[in-house]
Structure 1
Amino acid sequence: MAQTHRLSTLPPWISHWLGYRSSPPSKRPDYVVWIWSFIGAFCGISVIQAVFSQAQYFIERGVPSIVASYGASAVLIYGAVDAPLAQPRALIVGHFIGAFMGTGITKLFLLLPAERFNELQWLAASLSCACSIVLMQMTGTTHPPAGATAVLAAVNVQTREMGWYYLPVILFSSTLALAVALITNNLQRRYPLFWFYPSPAPAPLNLLRRSDYGCDSY
Structure 2
Amino acid sequence: MINISKPILQKALIAGFFSAFTIGVLTVLTYKSTLGYFIAGSFGSSMVLLFGFPESPFAQPKNVFFGHLVTALVGVIFVHFIPLPIYINIAAAVGIGVFLMILLNVVHPPAGGNPIMVIIGSASYDYLINPIIFGCIIILLLAIIVNKYLLKKNYPLK
User: Normalization by structure 2: what TM-score?
Assistant: 0.87
Task: Provide closer, same or farther for how the CA distance between residues 191 and 92 of structure 1 changes in structure 2, counting only shifts above 3 A.
Answer: farther
Q: CA RMSD in A?
A: 1.9
2:71 to 98, 122, 128: 98
Contact 1:40/1:185, CA 8 A, preserved across alignment: no
Give runs of aligned pairs for residues 1-218 of structure 1, distance below 5 A: 29-58=7-36, 63=37, 66-109=39-82, 112=83, 120-156=85-121, 160=122, 162-169=123-130, 170-186=132-148, 187-194=150-157
Q: Distance in 1 between matches of 2:15 and 2:143?
A: 10
Q: Which residue of 2 aligns with 1:5?
A: none
Specify the SS of the correspondent of 2:86.
Answer: helix
Specify the SS of the correspondent of 1:140.
Answer: coil
Q: Distance in 1 between matches of 2:46 and 2:125?
A: 22
C-alpha displacement of 1:189 = 4.2
Q: Which residue of 2 aligns with 1:203?
A: none
Task: Provide closer, same or farther for how the CA distance between residues 191 and 43 of structure 1 changes in structure 2, counting only shifts above 3 A.
Answer: farther
C-alpha displacement of 1:75 = 0.7
Contact 2:144/2:156, CA 8 A, preserved across alignment: no
Specify the SS of the correspondent of 1:56.
Answer: coil
C-alpha displacement of 1:193 = 3.9
Q: Which residue of 2 aligns with 1:20?
A: none
Q: Distance in 2 between matches of 1:29 and 1:72?
A: 22
C-alpha displacement of 1:191 = 4.6
Q: Which residue of 1 aligns with 2:3?
A: none
Contact 2:71/2:115, CA 8 A, preserved across alignment: yes
Structure 2 residues not aligned, in runs of 5+ = 1-5
Q: Distance in 2 between matches of 1:154 and 1:46?
A: 25
Task: Show CA shifts across 1:104-148 (max 9, x none).
Answer: 012113xx5xxxx6xx10111111111111111111100111111
Structure 1 residues not aligned, in runs of 5+ = 1-27, 199-218
User: Normalization by structure 1: what TM-score?
Assistant: 0.64
Contact 1:43/1:180, CA 8 A, preserved across alignment: no
Specify the SS of the correspondent of 2:40.
Answer: coil
C-alpha displacement of 1:53 = 1.3
